[in-house]
Amino acid sequence: MLLFVEKLTGNVSIINDHVGSIPCYIDQRDDGVLSISDSMHLLPNLASGADLNPQALFNYVFYHCIPSPISIYQGISKLEPGVLASITRSESLRQQNYYAPAFTPSNDSSEQLMQRCHTLISDAVRRNMAEDCAAFLSGGLDSSTVAGMLAKHQQQHGLNAKTYSIGFEAKGYDETEYALITAKHFKTEHKVHYLQPDEIASHFTKVAGYFNEPFGNSSAMAAYICAQAAKTDGVKVMLAGDGGDEIFAGNERYVKQKVFQRFAALPGPLQKLLSLSLDNHLADKVPLLKKGSSYVRQAKVPLPDRLDSYNFVNCFNLTQMFSSDLLSQIDPELPAAQKRARYNACVSDDAVDKMMYLDWKFTLADNDFVKVRQMCQLAGVEVRFPLIEKELVDFSCTVAADIKVPGQKLRDFYKNSFRGFLPDATLSKSKHGFGLPFGVWMKQRPDLQRIALNALQQFKQRNILQASFIDQAIHTFEKGHAGYYGELVWILVVLELWLQQHGAANA
Give the mean pLDDT of 322-340: 97
Task: Identify the three-state secondary structure at position 369.
Answer: helix
- Identify the pLDDT of residue 174: 66
Which helix (H) or strand (E) is 330 found in, with range? none
Give the mean pLDDT of 275-297: 88
In this structure, the answer to whether residues 38 and 71 fall within a common structural domain is yes
Q: Please report, for the domain that includes residue 74, its CATH number.
A: 3.60.20.10
Domain span at residue 291?
252-349
Residues above pLDDT 70, as percent of the chain: 94
- Identify the pLDDT of residue 437: 65
Q: Does residue 436 register a pLDDT over 70?
A: no
- Identify the pLDDT of residue 12: 86
Give the mean pLDDT of 375-403: 97
Q: Does residue 407 register a pLDDT over 50?
A: yes
pTM: 0.93
- Which of 97, 130, 157 terminates a domain? The answer is 97
Q: Does residue 506 register a pLDDT over 80?
A: no
Q: Does residue 440 register a pLDDT over 90?
A: no
In this structure, the answer to whether residues 92 and 116 fall within a common structural domain is no
User: Which amino acid would we find at residue 304?
Assistant: P
In this structure, the answer to whether residues 89 and 16 fall within a common structural domain is yes
Could you tell me if residue 64 is inside a domain? yes
Q: What DSSP assignment string belongs to 199-228?
A: HHHHHHHHHHHHSSS----TTHHHHHHHHH
Top-confidence residue, 194 or 399:
399
Which of 88-97, 397-406, 422-431 shows the lowest mean pLDDT across its residues?
88-97
- Identify the pLDDT of residue 430: 73
Q: Does residue 485 register a pLDDT over 80?
A: no
- Which of 287, 322, 349 terminates a domain? The answer is 349
Could you tell me if residue 179 is inside a domain? yes
CB-based burial of residue 281 (10 Å sphere; 0-12 exposed, 13-18 middle, 19+ buried)? exposed
How many folded domains does the chain comprise? Answer: 4
In this structure, the answer to whether residues 244 and 154 fall within a common structural domain is yes
Tell which residue, 12, 28, 132, has the closest CA to residue 75: 28
Task: Specify whether the CB–CB gap between 498 and 43 falls below 8 A.
Answer: no
Give the mean pLDDT of 329-346: 97
Break the chain down into helix, strand, coil percent, rounded to 5: 55, 10, 35
In this structure, the answer to whether residues 420 and 332 fall within a common structural domain is no
In this structure, the answer to whether residues 463 and 415 fall within a common structural domain is no
Is the previous residue joined to 69 through a cis bond, with omega within 30 degrees of 0? Answer: yes
Give the mean pLDDT of 360-364: 97
Strand order in the sheet with 35-37: 35-37, 25-27, 76-78
- Identify the pLDDT of residue 244: 96
In this structure, the answer to whether residues 119 and 78 fall within a common structural domain is no
Q: Please report, for the domain that includes residue 386, its CATH number.
A: 3.40.50.620
Could you tell me if residue 10 is inside a domain? yes
> For 109-135, how does the pLDDT look when each residue is reduced to its tens digit (9 = 90+)?
999 999 999 999 999 999 999 999 999
Q: Does residue 433 register a pLDDT over 50?
A: no
Q: Does residue 30 register a pLDDT over 90?
A: no
In this structure, the answer to whether residues 340 and 199 fall within a common structural domain is no
Could you tell me if residue 103 is inside a domain? no
Q: Does residue 48 register a pLDDT over 70?
A: no
Task: Specify whether the CB–CB gap between 38 and 387 falls below 8 A.
Answer: no
For residue 322, count other CB atoms closer than 10 A to its CB.
Answer: 24
Which helix (H) or strand (E) is 396 found in, with range? helix 390-396
Q: Does residue 432 register a pLDDT over 70?
A: no
Positive or negative, the CA dihedral 289, 291, 293, 296 is: negative
- Which of 349, 366, 394 terminates a domain? The answer is 349
In this structure, the answer to whether residues 344 and 380 fall within a common structural domain is no
Give the mean pLDDT of 334-349: 97
- Calculate the alpha carbon distances from 36 to 82, 378, 415, 504 in Å: 17, 21, 41, 21
Give the mean pLDDT of 211-235: 94
Could you tell me if residue 368 is inside a domain? yes
In this structure, the answer to whether residues 291 and 267 fall within a common structural domain is yes
Task: Specify whether the CB–CB gap between 307 and 356 falls below 8 A.
Answer: no
Is the previous residue joined to 54 through a cis bond, with omega within 30 degrees of 0? Answer: no
In this structure, the answer to whether residues 383 and 448 fall within a common structural domain is no
- Identify the pLDDT of residue 173: 63
User: Which amino acid would we find at residue 134?
Assistant: A
Q: Does residue 254 register a pLDDT over 90?
A: yes
Top-confidence residue, 290 or 130:
130
pLDDT confidence bin for 34, thresholds 50/70/90? confident
3-state secondary structure 261-306: HHHHCCCHHHHHHHHHHHCCHHHHHCHHHHHHHHHHHHHCCCCCHH
Give the mean pLDDT of 280-304: 89
In this structure, the answer to whether residues 238 and 265 fall within a common structural domain is no
Could you tell me if residue 29 is inside a domain? yes
Q: Does residue 434 register a pLDDT over 60?
A: no
Q: Does residue 355 register a pLDDT over 60?
A: yes
> For 82-91, how does the pLDDT look when each residue is reduced to its tens digit (9 = 90+)?
999 888 766 6
Could you tell me if residue 507 is inside a domain? no
d(CA 149, CA 178): 17
For residue 107, count other CB atoms closer than 10 A to its CB.
Answer: 7
Give the mean pLDDT of 91-120: 92
Could you tell me if residue 305 is inside a domain? yes
DSSP secondary structure code for residue 139 in this structure: S
Q: Does residue 183 register a pLDDT over 50?
A: yes
